[in-house]
Amino acid sequence: MKHSGSFCIQCLALVFILMKTVVCASGLSVDQEKNFQEAIRAGNRDKVVEILSLGGDELRRKVLFSSAYYLQLTARFGSSDLLLYFVDQFGLKENRESLSEALVVAIDNQSFDEVAATLIDLGADPAHEFSGMTALGRLACLYAGKREKKQGMLKTARLLLRKNANVNLFDETGETPLMAAVRGDDPDLVKLLLAHGADPHLTNKDTASAFTLARPGSVVAALLEREKQCGGAHGGQQPDPRHRRHE
């Protein structure tokens, strides 16, 4: 009996050691994933590579399982170089939907013009809607009228429009890119959008159009008035009927 009791104690000790090992390993895995996310938010490519290497197959499986989220995180905070590394490591070049969603998120990046261009080169669709927003709509909403972002904004807007972004699509707030550009009192962006078929007659949920949103006597108001006299849109894309009004 004494021998049997000793054996049981040894078994319990072994079970305790195994459980402690599993808990520690689980905690280490959680910490690695958290550190991985923080490295992405910091835009630290070297740290991302290091953590991914230390995390081994388990961390890779977790990241791959949530690859759309991590791609968006990288597009939001990372550089083009980090983005390319991530896409290559997890084989996301053929995942156009995830790339297109990341494109919308990338507009919030401090280096949005470079990151957006990289995503488009990888095959992201500029016309894609994500969370009620398109890349063009988000661009106009965030940067219209911001002098420090003007060159990057116009460069990105031209690229998105050249790649068939929908210039007349309403976003989740019920406004088009042109309305956002008018609200920002940005004549350069307004002129660009009008040249690509933006319709100034469309109205938001408050029945306000680009004409009524324009500041009286502004350059933007003059551009819209000239457009009105010329007969409206320049024959560009027609808006999707589902998005013409937000009652």
- Average pLDDT, integer, range 214-219: 96
* pLDDT over 60 at 98, yes or no: yes
What mean pLDDT do residues 3-13 have? 50
Query: Mean pLDDT over residues 105-116, rounded?
Result: 97
The Cα 181–Cα 154 span in angstroms is 11
Whether residue 114 has pLDDT greater than 50:
yes
Average pLDDT over residues 89-94: 95
Q: What is the arithmetic mean of pLDDT over 216-235?
A: 83
Average pLDDT on 37-52 reads: 96
Q: Mean of the pLDDT values across residues 14-31?
A: 47
* Region 36-61 average pLDDT: 95
pLDDT of residue 74: 98
pLDDT of residue 230: 81
The average confidence (pLDDT) of the chain is 86
What's the pLDDT score for residue 15? 41
Tens-digit pLDDT profile for residues 195-211: 999 999 999 999 999 99
For residue 9, is pLDDT > 80? no
Note the pTM of the prediction, 2 decimals.
0.82
Q: Pick the residue with more confidence: 157 or 14? A: 157
Task: For residues 25-47, give the mean pLDDT.
Answer: 83
Does residue 129 register a pLDDT over 50? yes
Q: Which is higher by pLDDT, 22 or 108?
A: 108
